[in-house]
Amino acid sequence: MTATLAPTGATNADRHDDADLITALRDGDEAAFAHLVDRYHAALVRLARLYVSDAAAEDVAQETWLGFLRGLSRFEGRASLKTWLFRILVNRARTRAVRDGRTIPLSTLGRETESVEPAVDPARFRAADDPRWPGHWLVAPLTDDLPEQRFLTGELNDQVRRAVATLPPAQRQVVTLRDIQGFSSDEVCGLLHLTDANQRVLLHRGRSKVRAALEAYCAAEV
């Protein structure tokens, strides 16, 4: 349940592509802008839904494109073009969420990493005083029942998205950005203003919960 993307420290090829695209956009190349919209608009809407209602998400995405075009002259290439675009989206979505009374305080992102929350349900392990296997698996992960090809099915993808939707807000944001949107850890830290340690904790806890939900689903299917 992982996705890959070029890291925030953009390669020379990435920077060259961004530079060419920025030049085209600044020259008023409509085809270049249409290409960018086709590539990222749906992902912008999905990310906006983490902050605002489904009805407002499209508006936030449209506002993001307007902000993007207005800010083109100020883009200095310190981050990738994609990171800059999604940073605009997050800022717009947070502003809209505050206005709509749906905001998630930034402080909660850190508090979720500080809570004493096990990544795996303790009930899945044998007791510390077990006479033979103390602390070992009681209910082991169903790795054999989750072959890679099953992740390609639409039904299982739907289960993943449902499981992600039930995560606590900070975990949901990090898992969505890393595993669904394909952002690198550095990009997520920049977008959500998290330390690398917090990002890793939230990702691990979120992935563990999604994995447990998929195991329960597959066990029921078996």
What pLDDT tens digit does each residue of the chain (222 aa) get?
433 333 334 444 444 578 888 899 999 999 999 999 999 999 999 999 989 999 899 999 999 999 999 999 888 888 889 889 999 999 999 999 988 886 555 444 545 555 555 555 555 555 666 666 555 544 555 544 444 455 445 677 788 888 999 999 899 999 999 988 888 999 999 888 899 999 999 999 999 898 888 888 877 765
Q: What pLDDT is recorded for position 128?
A: 61
Q: What is the pTM of this model?
A: 0.67
Q: What pLDDT is recorded for position 9?
A: 40
Q: What pLDDT is recorded for position 161?
A: 85
- HEC states along the chain? CCCCCCCCCCCHHHHHHHHHHHHHHHCCCHHHHHHHHHHHHHHHHHHHCCCCCHHHHHHHHHHHHHHHHHHHHHCCCCCCHHHHHHHHHHHHHHHHHHHHCCCCCHHHHHHHHHCCCCCCCHHHECCCCCCCCCCCECCCCCHHHCCHHHHHCHHHHHHHHHHHHCCCHHHHHHHHHHHHCCCCHHHHHHHHCCCHHHHHHHHHHHHHHHHHHHHHHHHHHC
